Amino acid sequence: MAYSEKVLDHYENPRNVGSFGKEEEGVATGMVGAPACGDVMKLQIKVGKDGVIEDAKFKTYGCGSAIASSSLVTEWVKGKTIDQALEIKNTQIAEELALPPVKIHCSILAEDAIKAAVADYKKKHTE
Amino acid sequence: MLKLPIYLDYSATTPVDPRVAEKMIPYLVEKFGNPASRSHAFGWEAEAAVEEAREEVARLVNADPKEIVWTSGATESDNLAIKGAVHFYSSKGKHVITVKTEHKAVLDTCRELERQGFEVTYLDVQENGLIDLDTFKAALRHDTILVSVMFVNNEIGVIQPIEEIGEICREKGIIFHVDAAQATGKVDIDLGKLKVDLMSFSAHKTYGPKGIGALYVRRKPRVRLESQMHGGGHERGFRSGTLPTHQIVGMGEAFRIAREEMAVENKRIGALRDRLLKGLSDIDHVFVNGDLEHRIPHNLNVSFAYVEGESMLMAIKDLAVSSGSACTSASLEPSYVLRALGRDDELAHSSIRFTLGRFNTEEEVDYAIKLLREKIGKLRELSPLWEMVQEGVDLNTVQWAAH
């Protein structure tokens, strides 16, 4: 399968790979997908006291497009408030990476990962 | 000097051996006659070449040349054998047995038979990819008319117990078809001993050209087929269509070389495969798929746990290998063959098939080992599953949000 240059770039040089300590202040985690489906994404955000995402990290089990999609959203969420982050849509991700139709589910998964991470943050901070 | 990418996908197809190509060329240019032309020397010359090639194909498998019917390849041979026999013998019964790990050319043909009203049993295999003979016997019915089992599996390279299955089928008077596309030149095939009635062959898996194959149709006891291609009555009515002389000459030469060189070649290739396996075996969580003993020496199918197959292929693009089989690699489904072994989906998604062949070298294998070791490390660093396993999480206990 031919990949776009942007997918290849993120795949070869993934941004923000890694994990935060689970107990770190302001850290929330979104884990989506399933091994049986061939994709698992873990997106972590680190939110400052002002509600702005200061940093993000990811790890992804999946194809090149899945890795690129999650790498891209770690870049995009940084500097956004958690509500702004929720506005990132899978279509924007797919467009930016020029994903072919069979890989659209990778961008959907990346959007879901943001939602899951934000939901985790809100859960931790309303208690 | 090492030339990249390195071809390690010989079960998808093989290059035409230069000796084969050389023998084919005159039959395109000067010796172009139609082998069915009986009225002049051009036809006679082409016919002689076709018959010489038929003898070579027959010799590799110890058959009579009269039992060899030319086709366009193993897919056509499978279709002709299965549909042809089942249609001819449909008054005797309507049940067919095959195996879940067969090639699509057999499975889809059986699906078509089901649409026509036949009943098909798709046998499970054991964890090692082999058929359990008791399971097979239990599946036999009084109205079973055909059994189709591949000799060598295309994805995991395991060798099915063809001799034993043949004995059982013959005893019960059931037609036995074997797809041997992946077996020629790799395992000894003696149709004088094996109780096989129909056997499919392909040229391009054995260093011959694409677009040519053959079907062995036993004469004693005689097996009848309803032809699937009608026309000029070529190949004794089994398969009409002008014979492609150059392709046939190529297949004959390829099978001659296989017969003469396979013993030595398979030792060399087996040593390369073992070298590859050894080079990977101390990596954590690497699993060989399929039985290692009852297996052709050319094949190594491994799952690198916690690394997804497609991303692995991207990382090792200097190696021409496949994830699953070439016929399914365009889809996102994990290999149905590995699923049939009972591999869980994660491992089925993580499998890579290496198939070695005539032109691979030790230097190439060493390069592959080095590259794989490096990239597996990188991809596992990226894998949340690997991280969880390192933390001691049992992935089977995790509640996944399936999508």
User: Nearest CA of chain B to the CA of A62: how many Å?
Assistant: 5
pLDDT for A38 equals 84
User: How far apart are alpha carbons A53 and A76 in whole angstroms?
Assistant: 10
Degrees to nearest 5, angle at CA B96 with B91 and B97: 155
Q: What is the pLDDT of residue B99?
A: 98
Intra-chain end-to-end CA distance of chain A, in Å: 47
Contacts of A60 in chain B (CB under 8 A): 382-384
**Per-residue tokens: B306:** 């916690």
Query: What does the pLDDT look like over A42-91, one tens digit per residue?
Result: 999 999 999 999 999 999 999 899 999 999 999 999 999 999 999 999 99
Residue A1 confidence (pLDDT) above 80? no
DSSP state of A55: E
Closest chain A C-alpha to B309 CA, distance in angstroms: 7
Query: What's the gap in Å between the CA of A104 and the closest CA on chain B?
Result: 12
Q: Which has the closest alpha carbon to A31: A120, A93, A94, A127?
A: A120
**Average pLDDT for A119-127:** 86
Option in B308, B384, B403 nearest A63 (CB): B308
Structure tokens at A57: 């990290």
Q: How confident is the model at residue B327 (pLDDT cuts 50, 70, 90)?
A: very low
Of the candidates A40, A108, A112, the beta carbon closest to that of B384 is on: A40
Average pLDDT over residues B59-72: 98
Q: Are B72 and B212 in contact (CB under 8 A)?
A: yes
Helix (H, G, I), strand (E, B) or coil at B328: coil
Please list, in sequence order, all residues whose beta carbon lies within 8 angstroms of the beta carbon of residue B381, skipping any fewer than 6 positions away. A17
Do B107 and B82 touch, CB atoms closer than 8 A? Answer: no
DSSP letter for B241, please: S
ipTM for this prediction:
0.93
Check whether B328 has a pLDDT greater than 50.
no
Q: If 0-12 CB within 10 Å is exposed, 13-18 middle and 19+ buried, where does residue B136 land?
A: buried
Q: Which residues, 6 or more positions from B400, have their beta carbon under 8 angstroms from its beta carbon? A: A33, A34, A35, A36, A40
Contact A127, A84 (CB under 8 A): no
Secondary structure element (H or E) that encloses residue B208, with its range: none
Provide the pLDDT for residue B400.
83
B401 vs B332 pLDDT, higher one: B401
Asked if B2 and B361 count as a contact pair (C-beta separation under 8 A), the reply is no
For residue range A25-37, what is the model confidence (pLDDT) as tens digits?
Answer: 899 999 999 888 8
Of B334, B384, B403, the CB nearest to A31: B384
Split at pLDDT 50, 70, 90, the class of B403 is: low
CA angle B40, B42, B46 (to 5 degrees): 120
pLDDT-derived band at B329 (thresholds 50, 70, 90) equals very low
| pLDDT of the residue at A127 | 60
Buried b (16+ CB within 10 A) or exposed e, A62-83: bbbbbbbbbbbbbebbbebbbe
DSSP string, B164-179: HHHHHHHHHT-EEEEE
The Cα–Cα gap between B212 and B144 comes to: 31
Indicate if the pLDDT at residue B134 is higher than 60: yes
Geometric angle at alpha carbon B269, from B187 and B334, rounded to 5°: 80
Residues of chain A contacting residue B310, judged by C-beta atoms under 8 Å apart = 1, 38, 62-64
Q: How far apart are CA B161 and CA B344, in angstroms?
A: 25
Chain A hits for B376, CB-CB cut-off 8 Å, are none
pLDDT band at B280 (very low <50, low <70, confident <90, very high): very high
Which residue in chain B is spatially nearest to A63 when comparing CA positions?
B311
Residue B109: C-alpha distances to residues B73, B78, B166 (Å): 15, 8, 21
